[in-house]
A = this chain, B = another copy of it.
Amino acid sequence: MAARDAGSGTVDEDRAGRTGRRGQRLNRNRLLETALHIVDQHGVDALTMRRIATELQVDPMTIYRHVKNKDALLDGVVEQLWSQVWPQGPDSEEWKAVLSHLGRGLRDVMMRHPSAGPLLLSRPVLPGSALVVLKHALDVVKDAGFTEQEAATIVRCVSSVALSDSALRVTYELPQRPHNASGEPDPEQLISLTQLLPPDTPPDLVRVAWTICPPLETDDDFGFTLDLIVAGAEHLRNRA
C-alpha cells in the first residue's frame, strides 16, 4: 500500500526505482530471516503473510514469488534453524565429542529461538542443512566401530532428546532466579509453574511437573543427559 509512493522521491538512494523500500530486492534468504525474526519476537501465531510483508515493506503477494506457499515458508524457517548448527566442532574425530557437539548445537538453537521450538518439532522435515549435520555425525560414529543401524539409532537418540527435551523445558520456562542448587522449589517459581498447568491439577502432580521441568537448566544438566546416552552407546558396543 505505502510501498511505492515513498520510493519515488529519490531514485539513486536505492538500487533501483520501485523495488522495496530497503533498497535491495527481496530474496529467499531475506524473507526467511525476517520470518524467523518475527517468530522470535512475537511467536509462531504472529507469523502471517501480511505481517511479514509489512515488515519487509512489500505487498503480501510478493512473498509468493520466492516461496510456493505458507507451508513451504515454514519449512524454509526450519531449514534456516538447522543451518545454525555447525556440522563439526573442534575435535571432530572423536565420536563422543561429535555427539555432544550435535546435541549441544541443537539445544543452543532451541534456546536461542524458544518460540520456534514447536515449529522445529511439528514439521519433522529434513532439509539439506539438517542432512549435512546428521551425515557428519553418522560418519564419525560409524568409523568408531558401530554398524550403520547402530549409528543411526544413536544419532537419532541424541537429536530427539536435544530437540524435544529442550522444547519442553523452554516452553515451561520459568522466571529465572539466582540458582537454587537444592531440588526444593522456590515458592515464587512454584506459583508460576502451577499457573501454567490446568487449574485443577492436584498438588502431587504439580510436584511431578516440577520434577520433570526444573526451572533453570544449567549446561551440566544437559551434559548429564548426554552422558547417559553416550554411556549407553558404549555399553552397546562392548557387548558384541
Binding site for B on A (CB under 8 A): 117-119, 121-124, 126-128, 131-132, 134-135, 138, 148-157, 160-161, 163-165, 167-168, 171-172, 183, 197-198, 200-201, 204-205, 208-209, 211-214, 221, 224-225, 227-233, 235-236
Contacts and interface: CB of A to CB of B under 8 A. Distances in A.
Q: Copy number in this complex?
A: 2
A122 B127 contact: no
A117 to B, nearest CB: 8
Contacts of A165: 156-157, 160
Nearest to A166: B160
Given A228-B232, A232-B232, A212 B152 contact: yes
- The SS class assigned to the A binding surface is helix
Nearest to A131: B205
A130 B95 CA distance: 35
Contact of A122 (B121, B204, B214): B121
A128 B171 contact: no
A208 B87 CA distance: 14
Contact of A163 (B164, B225, B232): B164
Q: Which of A122, A148, A200 has the most CB of B within 10 A?
A: A122
Contacts of A117: 124
Contacts of A151: 211
Nearest to A171: B124
A166 to B, nearest CB: 9
Query: Interface centre among A149, A212, A213, by most B CB within 10 Å?
Result: A212
A228 B168 contact: no
A135 B172 contact: no
